């Protein structure tokens, strides 16, 4: 669309098959070998099909897989930092043949897509763990997922026949073509995207509004795919986001949509991955906070900022906006960061996640300088129900 940022690779991929072509392929799929997918694989399948993973048209082949791990670029030279692959067991792989089609089915045996199988190759799990997540420890949730995958990988384009019928927050499930149409309708040319898997507290609100001062619009784009078991459920988080927008944001300059991707917890490499996804959704800018997509102590506080120095800005295409640790300063009497506040940390209101969760479980509101009361009320109510 004219005036909007071009998707990664120049073309917004669409592997959703419709009309007569869909009817014919669905009929053919009934006689194909079936491969069941788990929730994460279904998420990746749909992200590919809708163009959110442009320029990928399917699951990666061997050259792209190793190029991404070795160079953080696809074999064609485009920046890309996270392998998007489909695995299976060695026994199942022996029954498949490159050049054939495979029906990809859900747990109910419904055919979701056809994989046009081009390659079958070994899954180098230890290399993937170390080069993507910087550790081979199974305690890392991303590494654990890699180790749980099959020994062989299947590469090839996909043709999506059936979308998952999600009943939750359906009005916010916008494909890249739809967010792009929304931005065009609003007249937004400079749009900043914000990734989150947590409720938005005052520090997040502060950096969003700082970014909003320099662009036309803000896309709050929470990830609602698979996350860790101790993360706040997406349904609760969505209530928090809506309460914030209703009470504290200019409604004509903020959009809310969900990102159905699965969380990898890959720290710096996932920061770049998240930026490229938002570029495909039509964002020109992307907020990168401290410890973006981090978990535990596996990554340095600002590694997610430094990693962008490894790429040609023109090749990345989307502009990262880097923010320091933010907090409320009692002496400044305002939100601030280490870049703008000269005062000692004793003057800063900053609470650990553990402390906040303990307060909420006890029905106690965190200080208003840390969390908006409307958000705290939603979280307290949710934690009552979780007991």
Strand partners, 328: 335, 349
CB 173 within 8 A of CB 164: no
**CATH architecture for residues 170-259+263-386:** 3-Layer(aba) Sandwich (3.40)
**Pairwise CA distance, residues 50 & 72, whole Å:** 23
User: 62: Cβ–Cβ under 8 A, 6 or more apart, which residues?
Assistant: 119, 121, 153, 155
Alpha helices in 187-233 (DSSP H): 202-212
CB 153 within 8 A of CB 86: yes
Tokens of residue 303, six digits: 């590694």
Burial class (CB in 10 A: 0-12, 13-18, 19+), 262: buried
Tokens of residue 307, six digits: 């990693």
CB 357 within 8 A of CB 334: no
**Pairwise CA distance, residues 153 & 165, whole Å:** 27
* Residues 12, 13, 15, 20, Cα dihedral to 10°: 60
What CA–CA distances, in Å, run from 89 to 126, 202, 357?
16, 46, 40
Set 38, 106, 198, 310: catalytic member: 198
pLDDT digits (tens, 9 = 90+) for 368-381: 999 999 999 999 99
Q: Is the peptide bond before 323 cis (omega within 30 degrees of 0)?
A: no
**Pairwise CA distance, residues 118 & 98, whole Å:** 5
Q: pTM of the full predicted structure?
A: 0.95
Tokens of residue 364, six digits: 């106690």
CB 235 within 8 A of CB 263: no
Residue 197 annotated as catalytic: yes
**Pairwise CA distance, residues 247 & 227, whole Å:** 28
What CA–CA distances, in Å, run from 62 to 123, 152, 174, 375?
9, 11, 31, 46
Tell me the fold of 19-160: Sulfate adenylyltransferase (3.10.400)
Residue 122 phi/psi, 5° resolution?
-70, 145
Is residue 114 helix, strand or coil? strand
Burial class (CB in 10 A: 0-12, 13-18, 19+), 248: middle
Domain residue spans of the chain: 19-160, 170-259+263-386
Q: What share of the chain is helix, strand, coil (3-state, %, to 5)?
A: 40, 20, 45
Burial class (CB in 10 A: 0-12, 13-18, 19+), 313: exposed
CB 53 within 8 A of CB 47: yes
User: 331: Cβ–Cβ under 8 A, 6 or more apart, which residues?
Assistant: 343, 347
User: Going residue by residue through the chain (387 aa), what tens digit of pLDDT does each one get?
Assistant: 457 899 999 999 999 999 999 999 999 999 999 999 999 999 999 999 999 999 999 999 999 999 999 999 999 999 999 999 999 999 999 999 999 999 999 999 999 999 999 999 999 999 999 999 999 999 999 999 999 999 999 999 999 999 988 878 889 999 999 999 999 999 999 999 999 988 999 999 999 999 999 999 999 999 998 777 777 888 999 999 999 999 999 999 999 999 999 999 999 999 999 999 999 999 999 999 888 999 999 999 999 999 999 999 999 999 999 999 999 999 999 999 999 999 999 999 987 777 888 899 899 999 999 999 999 999 999 988 665
Residue 278 annotated as catalytic: no
DSSP code for 9: T
Tokens of residue 367, six digits: 């200080």
Q: Residue holding tokens 């007991």? A: 387
Set 173, 197, 278, 372: catalytic member: 197
């Amino acid at each position: 669309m004219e005036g909007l940022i071009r998707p990664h690779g120049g073309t917004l991929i669409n592997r959703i098959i419709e009309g007569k072509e869909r009817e014919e392929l669905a009929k053919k799929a009934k006689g194909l070998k079936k491969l069941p997918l788990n929730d994460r694989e279904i998420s990746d399948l749909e992200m590919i099909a809708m163009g959110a993973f442009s320029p990928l048209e399917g699951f990666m082949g061997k050259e792209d897989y190793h190029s991404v791990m070795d160079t953080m670029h696809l074999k064609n030279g485009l920046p890309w930092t996270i392998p998007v692959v489909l695995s299976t067991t060695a026994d199942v792989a022996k029954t498949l043949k490159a050049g054939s089609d495979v029906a990809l089915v859900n747990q109910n045996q419904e055919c979701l897509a056809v994989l046009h199988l081009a390659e079958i190759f070994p899954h180098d799990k230890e290399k993937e763990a170390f080069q993507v997540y910087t550790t081979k420890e199974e305690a890392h949730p991303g590494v654990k997922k890699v180790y749980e995958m099959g020994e062989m990988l299947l590469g090839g384009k996909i043709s999506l026949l059936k979308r998952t019928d999600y009943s939750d927050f359906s009005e916010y499930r916008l494909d890249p073509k739809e967010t792009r149409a929304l931005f065009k309708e609003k007249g937004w040319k400079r749009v900043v995207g914000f990734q989150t898997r947590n409720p938005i507290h005052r520090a997040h609100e502060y950096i969003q509004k700082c970014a909003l001062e320099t662009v036309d619009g803000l896309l709050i784009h929470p990830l609602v795919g698979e996350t860790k078991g101790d993360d706040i459920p997406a349904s609760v988080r969505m209530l928090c986001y809506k309460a914030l927008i209703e009470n504290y944001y200019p409604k004509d300059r903020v959009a809310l949509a969900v990102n159905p991707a699965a969380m990898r917890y890959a720290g710096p490499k996932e920061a770049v991955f998240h930026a490229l996804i938002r570029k495909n959704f039509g964002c020109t800018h992307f907020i990168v906070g401290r410890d973006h997509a981090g978990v535990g102590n596996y990554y340095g506080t600002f590694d997610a900022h430094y990693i962008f120095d490894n790429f040609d800005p023109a090749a990345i295409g989307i502009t990262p906006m880097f923010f320091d640790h933010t907090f409320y300063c009692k002496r400044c009497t305002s939100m601030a960061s280490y870049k703008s506040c000269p005062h000692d940390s004793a003057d800063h209101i900053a609470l650990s996640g553990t402390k906040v969760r303990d307060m909420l479980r006890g029905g106690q509101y965190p200080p208003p300088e840390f969390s908006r009361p409307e958000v705290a009320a939603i979280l307290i109510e949710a934690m009552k129900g979780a007991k």
